[in-house]
């Protein structure tokens, strides 16, 4: 890892000891559920990332493949073609750390070479057998997201989450990924029923006992129960993220950066120790 990227990584990880940290979402996809197609143009993507950085984002999460339910899979070549020019420019222009949202080891390795300091793997090292070794070699931080191939309403989702994280953390340890570089995400909205999403949300406090920072990605998700279109659910997203903060979440992955930076600052400033 380049010394400048290493310094960014370590600065970001230190910040997690005194949250909150805001992760701005930059989808480069044509089919993401909320903002698909809005930032397919390179200049538009870079401008949006720069604006999120100026609004107070601590890191920008760049994704070249949609992870919404029933989204079409894309090849590594197509995913990299979407992300590479944006990552290359952000490394020099955005002035903020970059995360790569991918489950493919090949994309993670290339993104790290371009300066990404975090690999945000929505399959928690369990989709691509090469991912754990890739992350270890790149020395990036890692977000392990709980996920499943499909919904199962009969499943004890909390027990499944715990088993999943046990497996992912074992893979990370075997590959030599340092525990202090690992973040976990309960995967709200990933192959879960509405009831399971709520159970996963309520389990955040118990996940905190693992001693790892917790990231939540609640932004504009159906789990919030709003009847309004995705772009109109800001209030619900903010309330849900503040509730997650009370349970111990430290990192908040959001579309609306400025509003969350303000809301979280007030919330954490007013909290009674």
Distance CA 137, CA 113 (A): 11
Distance CA 75, CA 98 (A): 22
Distance CA 41, CA 52 (A): 17
Instruction: Look at residues 138, 132, 125 and name the one whose alpha carbon lies nearest to residue 185.
Output: 125
Q: State the pairing for strand pair 59-63/141-145.
A: unpaired
* Tokens 């715990």 belong to residue: 162
DSSP per-residue string spanning 211-246: SS-BEE--TT-GGG---S-GGG-HHHHHHHHHHHHH
Q: Of these residues, 82, 110, 220, 253, which one is catalytic?
A: 253
**Angle, alpha carbons 203-204-208 (nearest 5°):** 120
- How remote is the C-alpha of 101 from its chain's centroid? 7
Task: Assess contact for 183 and 213: CB atoms under 8 A.
Answer: yes
Distance CA 268, CA 179 (A): 26
Helices (H), 114-256: 131-138, 157-175, 194-202, 204-207, 234-247
155 burial level (CB within 10 Å; 0-12, 13-18, 19+): middle
Is residue 265 annotated as a catalytic residue, yes or no? no
Contacts of residue 123, defined as CB under 8 A and 6 or more positions apart, other chains included, come to: 103, 131, 145, 147
Q: Of these residues, 9, 82, 104, 221, which one is catalytic?
A: 221
- Catalytic residues, by residue number, are 221, 253
């Amino acid at each position: 890892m380049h010394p400048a990227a290493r310094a960014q990584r370590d600065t970001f990880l230190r910040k997690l000891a005194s949250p909150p940290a805001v992760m701005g979402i930059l989808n480069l996809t044509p089919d993401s559920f909320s903002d698909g197609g809005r930032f397919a143009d390179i200049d538009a993507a870079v401008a949006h990332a720069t604006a999120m950085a100026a609004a107070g984002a601590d890191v920008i999460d760049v994704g070249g493949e949609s992870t919404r339910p029933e989204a079409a899979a894309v090849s590594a070549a197509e995913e990299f073609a979407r992300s590479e020019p944006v990552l290359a420019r952000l490394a020099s222009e955005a002035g903020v750390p970059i995360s790569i949202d991918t489950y493919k080891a090949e994309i993670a390795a290339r993104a790290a070479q371009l300066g990404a300091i975090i690999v945000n793997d929505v399959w928690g090292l369990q989709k691509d057998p090469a991912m754990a070794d890739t992350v270890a070699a790149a020395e990036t931080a890692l977000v392990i997201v709980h996920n499943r191939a499909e919904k199962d309403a009969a499943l004890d989702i909390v027990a499944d989450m715990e088993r999943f994280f046990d497996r992912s953390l074992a893979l990370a340890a075997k590959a030599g990924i340092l525990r202090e570089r690992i973040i976990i995400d309960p995967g709200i909205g990933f192959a879960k029923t509405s009831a399971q999403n709520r159970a996963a949300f309520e389990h955040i406090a118990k996940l905190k006992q693992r001693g790892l920072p917790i990231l939540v990605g609640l932004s504009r998700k159906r789990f919030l129960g709003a009847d309004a279109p995705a772009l109109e659910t800001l209030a619900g997203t903010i309330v849900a993220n503040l509730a997650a903060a009370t349970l111990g979440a430290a990192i908040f992955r959001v579309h609306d950066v400025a509003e969350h930076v303000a809301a979280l600052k007030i919330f954490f400033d007013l909290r009674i120790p």
